[in-house]
Amino acid sequence: MVSVLGAVLGCAAGSAVETPGQPPDAGLTRVVAGASDSVSVIPGSPDALYLYRFRQVDPASDRFAFQDREVSFYFKPTPDALHFQVENRQNRPLWIVWDKSSFTDANGANGKLAHSTARWVDRFKPQPDTQVPGLGRYSDYVLPLDYLLDPAGSDEQLHRPLFPEDQTAPQYADKYFSVDLVMTVEERPVTYPFRFRVASVIPR
């Protein structure tokens, strides 16, 4: 499953954008377009001053994985966003309910989440549920909805990263963040909570 995810998530587009009046990597003032991912063991920007190592602490998993009778999840945290893949283990569709799902960032702020199709202009509109077909897979990334930024007329998804990669990065060591993904399974809502920790922040 991990090899499949690498191929799928590698298609996600994202890049750093310089914020007007700010240096390119001014901590959380750095702006990201989309959310890039790579097959690198340690995720992050090529020019990052610091690298992050993450751990999935609840449900605990060294492989960032979880499964039950209905679904299996695989996660890949990065400084820009939390990437994931979900596999429907049953032969009938289920749905991800974005509007009832939530994200708690490293500062403890909890709120709605955004995924790859969410845009600044739509942030107060309902987000349509996403169907995962029977025995199918779906890959995406999530981040706090409040992190979306005004793209000034562009259709790009601009947002703050989850974590800085400059000289301010070390202060995020041992911080926690989490996501509660709500899914409709056989017409009933099921919440899947996942919690992660910044295990270390090391100079590049």
- Report pLDDT digits (tens) over 90-122: 999 999 999 999 999 999 999 999 999 999 999
CA-CA-CA-CA torsion sign (94, 83, 109, 149): negative
The gap between the terminal CA atoms of the chain, to the nearest Å, is 29
Q: Say which residue, 46 or 18, is predicted with more confidence.
A: 46
Per mean pLDDT, which range of 24-38, 114-128, 164-178 is the poorest? 24-38
pTM (2 d.p.): 0.84
Instruction: Find the mean pLDDT for residues 56-60.
Output: 98
Question: What is the per-residue pLDDT across 1-29, written as a single tens digit (0 to 9) for each?
Answer: 433 333 333 333 344 443 333 333 344 55
Alpha carbon distance 21, 16 (integer Å): 15
What is residue 91's predicted lDDT score, i.e. its pLDDT?
97
What is residue 103's predicted lDDT score, i.e. its pLDDT?
98
Q: Say which residue, 125 or 43, is predicted with more confidence.
A: 125
Q: What is the DSSP letter of 147?
A: G
